[in-house]
Amino acid sequence: MATTCLLIMSSHPFSTPEARWTAVRTRDSNAVGSFIYAVRTTGVYCRPDCKARLARRANVVFYENIPQAEEAGFRACKRCKPNAPPDHDREPVLAKIREAVDLVREGASRGDKVTLKELSSRVGLSKWHLQRVFTKINRMSPRAMANSIINTMEVEAAETSARIEAARDRRESSSHSSMASDKSYPDETEVHHLGLPNNLQALPMQYDDPDVDSVLRDLFPELY
């Protein structure tokens, strides 16, 4: 586990002090959100892309986030305002994140998972910055969002298929029951097969033996 975490950290473009100092010197906007740097001589902490005069490397210390810098006793820079909520300066980034969300949803609706590299190229943000801001805003990564949408679609498809199958089984069962019910009574063909007239009440029954005929007449007068 520790080895895995180390590998992940080492692959991050701003995981080392050297990379972070380079980002500060070049005021790299892609590093925003990756870390915070503070200046010992002024007592303030800044965003990596702060436009203030560059401090000496010996006076700069890096922190993972704002709470760490504030816990160490530093206050927010009034120029770059690292603790301020997103404003019009960050709106372009938010617009790109919304575009990324649309791309993820569009791909997932077709059963596809758009890669982070492809998203980065399409919206114009670095992979790490896109991943970080996307996850912060949506509370899940692009891949997790795609997986969630696809899984939901698969569950809904399975439920719909099950309902259709159940309805088909009910129709077949009802059809079989109806056919069985119809066979409970002999039809006209079966009556002829038995050698009986169609209308039993219309034809009188007579026997050669008068005694038998008399008894039947008393028992079944409706047949005479």
**Residues 146-161: what's their mean pLDDT?**
89
Count the domains in the chain. Answer: 2
How far apart are alpha carbons 132 and 125 in whole angstroms?
Answer: 11
| CA distances in angstroms from 128 to 31, 112, 215, listed in the order given | 9, 21, 106
pLDDT for 207 equals 53
What is the pTM (predicted TM-score) of this model? 0.40
pLDDT of residue 194: 45
Domain hosting 128: range is: 85-172
- Any domain includes 117: yes
Q: What is the pLDDT of residues 70-85, one digit of tens each?
A: 999 999 999 998 987 6
Q: Is the pLDDT of residue 217 over 80?
A: no
Q: Are residues 66 and 108 both part of a single domain?
A: no
Query: Are 66 and 130 within one domain?
Result: no
pLDDT tens track for 110-147: 999 999 999 999 998 888 889 988 998 899 999 999 99
Tell me: pLDDT of 1 over 90.
no
Q: Are residues 66 and 101 in the same domain?
A: no
Q: Is 215 domain-assigned? A: no
What CATH number does the domain containing 48 carry?
A: 3.40.10.10
> Do 101 and 27 share a structural domain?
no
177 occurs within a structural domain = no
- Please, how many CA atoms are within 13 Å of residue 182, restricted to the half-sphere of its CB? 8
pLDDT at 193: 47
The residues annotated as belonging to the active site are 46
User: Which domain-ending residue is among 44, 76, 108?
Assistant: 76
Write down which residue in 52, 76, 100 finishes a domain: 76
Q: Is the confidence at residue 55, as pLDDT, over 70?
A: yes
**Nearest by Cα to 80 from 49, 41, 43, 36:** 49
